[in-house]
Amino acid sequence: MPASKATPASDPSRNLLRHTLATLSYRGGKTLRDAPESFAKFQIAQGSRTPEQILAHIGDLFDWALSLAKGKQSWHDSQPLPWSQEIGRLFRLLAEFDDYLASDRPLAFSCEQLFQGPVADALTHVGQLAMLRRLAGSPVRAENYLQAQITIGRVGVEQAAPVMEF
């Protein structure tokens, strides 16, 4: 079911979805930045996903999201790359998805469906990574995210500095 015929700049659903990607990039970047080398393989219990496996899954979610947007649904279970490469993959895929949303190309699924599927799942997993950082002894500083300088289109590893951490 085609989602939207409005231009990307005037489509509030696309803009909210793009803002959500920017928010995810900000929060994900903060969670991944300065993680100790050992964090990638940290495991809280036998059989639970490690941070590197979660990060690979988040990348797969955005690969899937882009395929959904294009109407060529495709899912891959990727084996984790080395940690820094997996971080690079995540932000590359976020940028590709955001670029598609910013374009005038049609969406094969609605913004709401893209949000409720891959994007909401990715938000959950970024929260898991933040929790695992704390359990691994390397907590991420709390922040008033309402004050954060989050901007549509800023979906790379480079993010604004925190405004109000505590």
Query: Cβ of 66: how many Cβ atoms within 10 Å?
Result: 21
Q: How far is CA 4 from the centre of its chain?
A: 22
In this structure, CATH architecture of domain 8-147: Up-down Bundle (1.20)
What is the reported pTM?
0.93
Ordered per-residue pLDDT tens for the chain, 166 residues? 455 455 566 799 999 999 999 999 999 999 999 999 899 999 999 999 999 999 999 999 999 999 999 999 999 999 999 999 999 999 999 999 999 999 999 999 999 999 999 999 999 999 999 999 999 999 999 999 999 999 999 999 999 999 999 9
Output phi, psi for 163, to 5 deg: -95, -40
Burial 27-43 (b: 16+ CB within 10 A, else e): bbbbbbeebeeebbebe
Burial 145-158 (b: 16+ CB within 10 A, else e): eeebebebebbebe
